[in-house]
């Protein structure tokens, strides 16, 4: 499987323009899966009632489906969704029509320090989406700091972290992505934005981490980029069989 991580700046509260930017990135390379950052269509908005329209998420989901159909690939990214009067930070995993449909995960660990808990409600369910023989655990940004929530239960091969992770905590981002790969014997895709919004600046640091913990593909710091790599699922299975540490997990 070939994956593409799209590290880009995000225009604040401009979903149509952001979708157009990402469309260009997606069309620039062939892949089985394209992964976009957290709230890629608007930026990380913690007061959505003040500046977001509930219709935007529906338009963005329709666009993700169109891209998945056009590229015959899955498209994954987080958007702010208003459902039954409450906002959710929802990570969509959109497969081409007729090939598995749409899976989604609502961010469980909301970033209280940044005000996310004031307007959003947390998800309660862990979600694994399968695509072309690879099982993906869906996670969003702050979830990265909580290893028990991401613990491999023999049910996934790769973790996706879609993020808006500020540069002041870049070192933590780098270390924790590698830790999640090592402790779960899993590939890890960490996709972060660059640029700035009204609150923070972002340097990216989007990477693909191998189950041994080594980074096998990385975007340049602070720059927009598309990073691609291919998974070796046979090698992953052999590693887990040879060194079955997950059998000794605590739950």
Distance from chain centroid for Cα 95: 15
| pLDDT (tens digit per residue) in 16-42 | 999 999 999 999 999 999 999 999 999
CA dist., res. 56 & res. 179, Å (int): 35
Instruction: Give the residue numbers marked as catalytic.
Output: 38, 107, 141
Residue in 70, 65, 126 with CA at minimum distance from that of residue 93: 65
Q: How confident is the model at residue 250 (pLDDT cuts 50, 70, 90)?
A: confident
Reduce the secondary structure of 33-82 to three states and give it as a string.
Answer: EEECCCCCCCCCCCCHHHHCCHHHHHHHHHHHHHHHHHHCCEEEEEEEEE
Alpha-carbon gap, residue 28 to 7, rounded angstroms: 13
pLDDT for the residue 51: 87
Q: Return the bridge partners of 147, or none.
A: none
What confidence score (pLDDT) does residue 213 get? 97
- Helices and strands in the chain, H and E counts: 5, 14
**CA–CA dist 97, 92 (Å, integer):** 14
Q: What is the pTM of this model?
A: 0.97
Give residue-wise pLDDT tens across range 192-232: 999 999 999 999 999 999 999 999 999 999 999 999 999 99
Q: CATH for 2-248, among 3.40.50.450, 3.30.2020.10, 3.30.1130.10, 3.60.110.10? A: 3.60.110.10
């Amino acid at each position: 499987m070939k994956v593409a991580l799209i590290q880009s700046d995000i225009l604040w509260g401009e979903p149509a323009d952001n979708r157009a930017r990402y469309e260009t990135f997606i069309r620039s390379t062939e892949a089985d899966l394209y992964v976009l950052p957290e709230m890629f269509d608007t930026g990380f908005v913690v007061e959505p009632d003040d500046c977001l329209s509930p219709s935007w998420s529906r338009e963005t989901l329709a666009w993700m489906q169109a891209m998945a159909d056009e590229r015959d690939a899955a498209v994954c990214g987080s958007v702010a969704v208003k459902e039954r009067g409450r906002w959710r930070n929802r990570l969509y995993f959109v497969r081409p029509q007729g090939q598995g449909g749409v899976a989604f995960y609502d961010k469980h660990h909301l970033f209280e320090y940044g005000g996310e808990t004031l307007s959003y409600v947390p998800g309660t369910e862990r979600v694994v989406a399968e695509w072309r023989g690879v099982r993906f655990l869906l996670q969003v940004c702050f979830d990265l700091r909580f290893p028990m929530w991401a613990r491999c239960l023999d049910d996934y091969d790769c973790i996706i972290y879609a993020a808006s992770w500020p540069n002041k905590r870049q070192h933590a981002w780098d270390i924790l992505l590698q830790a999640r790969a090592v402790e779960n014997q899993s590939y890890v895709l960490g996709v972060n934005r660059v640029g700035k919004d009204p609150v923070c600046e972002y340097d990216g640091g989007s990477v693909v981490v191998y189950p041994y913990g080594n980074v096998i593909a990385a975007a340049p710091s602070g720059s927009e980029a598309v990073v691609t790599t291919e998974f070796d699922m046979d090698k992953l299975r052999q590693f887990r069989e040879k060194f079955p540490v997950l059998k000794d997990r605590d739950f």
